[in-house]
Amino acid sequence: MRLEENLSLAQEWDKTFPKSGKVEHSKVAFHNRYGITLAADLYKPKGTDGRLAAIAVCGPFGAVKEQASGFYAQTMAERGFLTMAFDPSFTGESGGAPRYMASPDINTEDFQAAVDYLSLREDVDPERIGLIGICGWGGLALNAAALDTRVKATVASTMYDMTRVNAKGYFDAEDSEAARYEKKKALNAQRIKDYQNGTYALGGGVAETVPEDAPFFLKDYHDYYKTKRGYHKRSLNSNGGWNIIGCMSFLNQPILQYSNEIRSAVLVMHGEKAHSCYFGRDAYANMMEGNPCPENKELLIIPGAVHTDLYDGGGKNAIPFDKLERFFDTYLK
């Protein structure tokens, strides 16, 4: 029985980064346990035989595989790993309807489904599979690592905890019962409108222009998603954004509840000047509290780097790919 639905996948090179001559690239599809078919770009080092260590890559939250995750995947393939950058459920070239929805459960499952698929490839060693999650997918990668004993090593890069930011606002500035009540009230009112209209209203992606007095992190996102540096026609953040109610369940279903039980290796890396750095620092501290295997966990703070510098290097070579190669070489033996 074939579980994957037929997807319409672009065959041209439509990434935000140049194609490497050191890797073989192909399009693949796999399904999660909810029956949603996911689209992915597979990158394999040229001239390799046998079973390789593999890495599934996803993120940032609202991005597509043609952006940062593909850049990470291709670069790690150049370094000897079979890698796969995938679009999450309901986004990009992946299946799932209605579009532009997110779920802490389904999106964690997306990572686990990637492990299912990689485990059964003849060119992958199923005992040597890791994850890379970027931005909001950093938190989801940690959540998957806490659940999936097949995952041997995980990198959370410039991570967001999407449940925390939805429930408490940026910098926890809306962390009160009253603030959450008003947010839920507005979202539930939007549900009625959407149901009446028979469609889901978009919340808007990154703004076309950013005022001079806007917070730096808004300018940081604009510099990536709305310029040649990172714009992509299928990226939610580059265009109309998630549905207004798309992330509603994140308010009430926190992830990372058992991150301190992760036995496998974890590297949390964040830019020193990233507005989001508190997510990474706190997630690492919580993961280490009473952890049975603290010796294979590490927090790496990258001097001078802002949030999107860890999407594509930010013109500074800010992503420590040598460090990532050593980390995965060590723990995907």
Nearest to 239 by CA among 110, 108, 91: 91
The per-residue pLDDT for 276 is 98
Look at residues 303, 298, 271 and name the one whose alpha carbon lies nearest to residue 285: 298
Statement: residue 2 has pLDDT above 60 = no
- Whether residue 70 is contained in a domain is answered as yes
Tokens linked to 115: 């492990």
Contact 146, 262 (CB under 8 A): yes
Is residue 209 one of the residues assigned to a domain?
no
Closest-CA residue to 54 (of 109, 138, 116, 104): 116
CB 230 within 8 A of CB 312: yes
pLDDT 10s digits, 90-145: 999 999 999 999 999 999 999 999 999 999 999 999 999 999 999 999 999 999 99
- For residue 4, pLDDT over 90 is answered with no
Is residue 205 assigned to a domain?
no
22 has a pLDDT exceeding 50: yes
- CATH at 105: 3.40.50.1820
In tens, the pLDDT along 42-52 reads 999 999 999 99
- Does residue 3 have a pLDDT over 80? no
Query: Does residue 316 form part of some domain?
Result: yes
Residue 263 lies in a domain: yes
Environment class of 256 (CB within 10 Å of its CB; exposed 0-12, middle 13-18, buried 19+) = buried
Q: Residue 223 pLDDT more than 50? A: yes
Q: How many domains in the chain?
A: 1
Domain limits at 27?
A: 23-161+255-331
Q: Which strands, in side-by-side order, build the sheet including 297-302?
A: 23-31, 37-45, 82-86, 52-58, 124-134, 151-157, 265-271, 297-302
Written as one letter, the residue type at 165 is V
Span 29-67, pLDDT tens digits: 999 999 999 999 999 999 999 999 999 999 999 999 999
Closest CA to 5 of 39, 43, 56, 41: 39
Residue 1's pLDDT is 44
Given a cut of 80, is residue 323 above it in pLDDT? yes
Examine residue 230 and state whether it is found in any structural domain, yes or no: no
Average pLDDT in the chain: 97
Residue 95: inside a domain: yes
Q: What is the pLDDT of residues 187-206, one digit of tens each?
A: 999 999 999 999 999 999 99
Domain membership flag for residue 58: yes
